[in-house]
Amino acid sequence: MSVESRLADLGLTLPEAPAPAANYVPFVVVGNLVHISGQISQNEAGLIKGKLGADLSIEQGADAARRCALSLLAQLKRACDGDLSRVVRAVKLVGFVNSSPDFIDQPKVINGASDLMVAVLGDAGRHARSAVSAASLPLGVAVEIEALFEIR
């Protein structure tokens, strides 16, 4: 089953690949690896802001992470000239969670992105991962995730 078919079956649509907010590029292709810059949590209504452990629940954080994953896939699609069949596998996700000092469930938040990668890419979506806390994130967003993918 194609990535596009899996997205459709899940009722998901990729957003437009977000433009960089500063002096960097959204992705860099080196050989068969695509390094995707951090994608911040946002949806159709705008930025998903807040601090886990203070303003947002784990479920809200996981949804914010899913939104980051959709933006990662949108950037990946651009890097693959619109052809997601070129994706071999997700290699690594690095997730940053805007957290209160006592919040310890960063992995549960980033599971929102990890679960989406597996749902969309199947076994090729299984990846290495880091899930870390941040005192704050750009623009006050709840989650930011960067990724590395292998393509053909």
Q: Once rounded to an integer, what is the mean pLDDT over residues 15-35?
A: 95
Which domains, ranges and CATH numbers included, belong to the chain? 3-151 (3.30.1330.40)
Residue type, 140: G
- pLDDT, position 134: 97
DSSP conformation letters of 56-77:
B-HHHHHHHHHHHHHHHHHHHH
Q: Could you tell me where the DSSP H helices lie in the chain?
A: 3-9, 58-79, 106-121
CA angle 105, 106, 110 (to 5 degrees): 125
CA–CA separation, 5 vs 116, rounded Å? Answer: 14
Q: With CA atoms as reference, report the closest residue to 113 among 100, 98, 130.
A: 130
**Whole-number mean pLDDT of the chain?**
97
Each residue's pLDDT tens digit, 62-117: 999 999 999 999 999 999 999 999 999 999 999 999 999 999 999 999 999 999 99
